Amino acid sequence: MSDLSAFSLEGRRILVTGANTGIGQGIAISIGKAGGAVLGVGRSAMDETAAQLAAVGASFAPITCDLSDHQAATAMLDAAWTGHGPIDGIVNNAGIIRRGDAIDFSKEDWDDVMDVNLKSLFFLTQAFARKVMAGGRTGRVVNIASMLSFQGGIRVASYTASKHGVLGITRLLACEWAARGINVNAIAPGYIVSNNTEVLRNDPDRNAAILGRIPAGRWGEADDIGDAAVFLLAPASKYMHGAVVPVDGGWLAR
């Protein structure tokens, strides 16, 4: 195997949740550029993602699913495997955020975030692993964590709890599945241009404070995360299990 092929996803089929916009879209496009076929999952239309993948000659199949329902998520995985063929890797990117002071935070805003960001992530990954193990195959799981997997943040109680949970689940699954042919790792994005960070970027004071701490001096772009995901899905990372890779412009280093 050449050094170049170790970073190729040629012949691999990857499922990406939340592929309609932002980080998920960037991940899908990076996978396509690396030669992978993308199954994109989202609640809304993925026409823009489809067009960008078509432009680089990549295979893309859109799948509609509401990931707030973990049973719907697992049924979707089964249907995708049957309809499109065996899946080689999944990227658990889909996530939502609710903002509010902890003293006033509602049960609804807690449950909504935990259902998508942690509960469905776990059971979707479980469904994938069952298929992989039953077929005697190997597989890759890339979970999208956060800077708030390490830090507390403010006014995002359920999001912070969910992202701490994503990091813990990543490590637990790696411990259980590393010897069974499944690599489970995570990426912790820093401050990336996306729908989830729009409110921060539109606040002059918060935007300036954030940029002032980032050594790279800029917000990250979706392809910064996408290229890291390709590495964790490719043969090059075959001995990585339970790792979390910060892609943060140096945020944690400061």
Q: How many CB atoms lie within 10 A of CB 218?
A: 11
Sign of CA dihedral 209, 210, 216, 217: negative
Catalytic residue selected from 81, 159, 191, 219: 159
Give the closest residue to 26 by CA, choosing from 4, 56, 2, 68: 56
Q: Report d(CA 50, CA 53) in Å as an integer.
A: 5
Q: What CA–CA distance (Å, rounded) separates 23 from 241?
A: 22
Is 191 catalytic? The answer is no
Q: Which residues contact 42 (CB under 8 A, 6 or more apart)?
A: 17, 18, 19, 20, 21, 24, 62, 63, 64, 65, 94
Token pair, residue 76, equals 């979707």
E strand segments, 84-135? 89-92
- Kindly tell me the number of DSSP H helices and DSSP E strands found in the chain: 9, 7
Q: Which residue has the tokens 């998508």?
A: 116
Tell me the CA distances in angstroms from 90 to 26, 39, 162, 211, 234, one per residue in order.
Answer: 15, 9, 19, 31, 12
Look at residue 246 and give its three-state secondary structure.
strand
Residues noted as catalytic: 159
